[in-house]
Each structure stands twice: as C-alpha cells, then as structure tokens.
C-alpha cells in the first residue's frame, strides 16, 4: 500500500506563510494524482489543491487560488503546498491524499490518505 506522511503544519499569524510537505512511500503507481484537503473542526473535509504526477497539471479551490501553490519533487516522491497570505479561515487539519487516477480528483474519493498536519492561523 501507499503511505503518506504530512509535515510542516504549525501555528502562525494572519498574513504569514507556511509550506506543507507530503512524502509518499510504499506501492508505486504508473500514474496518479495527489491532492491536499483540509478539515476544520465541525466542518466537512474540502478540497484545497491537486496535481497530476505525470502531466503536472494543477487544480485549486477558489478559496485558495492566488495564495496557495501546489508543487512536486518527483525524485523525492514529495508534494508540497506553499501557503501564502494565510487567513484565520485557513485554520484546519490538512491532509495529503493520493489516487491512481492521472486526472486530479477534487472530491474526497481518493485511495490513500495521510494522518494530517494541523495549521492554525491566529488573527
């Protein structure tokens, strides 16, 4: 199976930046996409950003477009989420996910999930 481990979360102030990392290991896929999701307390898990591993195509939620950037390092089997101009509403547990689909999936129907890394943005 695929193991995903997120890191980089923390407590920051509004306007600050933070970079999350997700390292993948285990079973490999000939093609797949990876994404970032977030879930605030009492809220539904929502799609944040996704990237196609092969084609490099990226997709962003409207709420983070222009502020967040998803990228990958194929040699390290790692995907990143650069978060700039953070807002209190960005506070959530951020999850990394992977799917065998080459097309970025914006729903929660991913095959593998990490344990999450918390991001707290104070006002």
C-alpha span between 123 and 15 (Å, rounded): 9
Helix, coil or strand: residue 91: coil
Q: What is the DSSP string of 18-81?
A: EEEEEEEEES--SS-EEEEEEE-TTS--EEEEEEETTT--EEE-TTTTTTEEEEEEGGGTEEEE
Query: Is residue 74 pLDDT above 90, yes or no?
Result: no
8-41: pLDDT as tens digits: 999 999 999 999 999 998 876 555 899 999 999 9
Residue 72, C-beta contacts closer than 8 angstroms, at least 6 positions apart: 34, 51, 53, 56, 78, 79, 80
Closest by Cα among 102, 98, 106, 115 to 24 = 98
CB neighbours of residue 23 within 10 Å: 16
Share of the chain above pLDDT 90, in %: 76
């Amino acid at each position: 199976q695929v193991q995903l481990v997120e890191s980089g979360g923390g407590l920051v102030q509004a306007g600050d930046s933070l970079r999350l990392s997700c390292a993948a290991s285990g079973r490999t896929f000939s093609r797949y996409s990876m994404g970032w999701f977030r879930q605030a307390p009492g809220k539904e898990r929502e799609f944040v950003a996704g990237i196609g591993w092969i084609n490099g195509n990226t997709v962003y939620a409207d709420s983070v477009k222009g502020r967040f950037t998803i990228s990958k390092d194929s040699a390290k089997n790692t995907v990143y989420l650069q978060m700039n101009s953070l807002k209190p509403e960005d506070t959530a547990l951020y999850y990394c996910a992977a799917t065998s689909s080459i097309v970025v999936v914006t729903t929660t129907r991913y095959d593998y999930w990490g344990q999450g890394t918390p991001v707290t943005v104070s006002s």
